[in-house]
Amino acid sequence: MTELKPDERWSILYNANDFDTFIKICTPEIWLKPEVPKHIHDSFGIIRKLLDHSYYVYEFYDEAASKALLIFEMALKLRYEEIEGKKWNKWDNLQKLIQYFADGQYFEADNPDYFDHIRHVRNSHAQNSLVLVVR
């Protein structure tokens, strides 16, 4: 069995020389309200594990971010269906979906630049994934 060793990039880039420091300065805190469905909580539990393990395998961080963005979008669509009693129009984009929830003041954060950044990162991940499949 291979011994796990910290990926040196965390130490070089962020001076995270031990696991506790890495968790404190390099990983986001994930907090979901109790009323969020269990499968969303479970999915973010996997994301948390990927983030934790990225201390040893740097690339797991990108995998965690990609999964978090997909789960975020899925959770918004499920919540929209609960509120409106109908499915989100698959032809409407993520920007409209985020705007729906922002207009209804469902988010605790209200910074439009933050949501534009989320959308941009999600689109980048989706486009990179498609490029890999096409090649």
Task: Please check whether residue 27 is in contact with residue 3, taking contact to mean a CB–CB distance below 8 angstroms.
Answer: no
Q: Of 30, 31, 33, 34, whose CA–CA distance to 50 is shortest?
A: 30
Mean pLDDT comparison of 15-19, 61-65, 117-121, highest-scoring range: 15-19
Q: What is the pLDDT of residues 25-56, one digit of tens each?
A: 999 888 888 888 999 999 999 999 999 999 99
Rounded to the nearest 5°, which phi and psi values hold at 86?
-150, 160
pLDDT at 133 over 60: no
Confidence of residue 117 (pLDDT cuts 50, 70, 90): low
The predicted structure's pLDDT at residue 122: 64
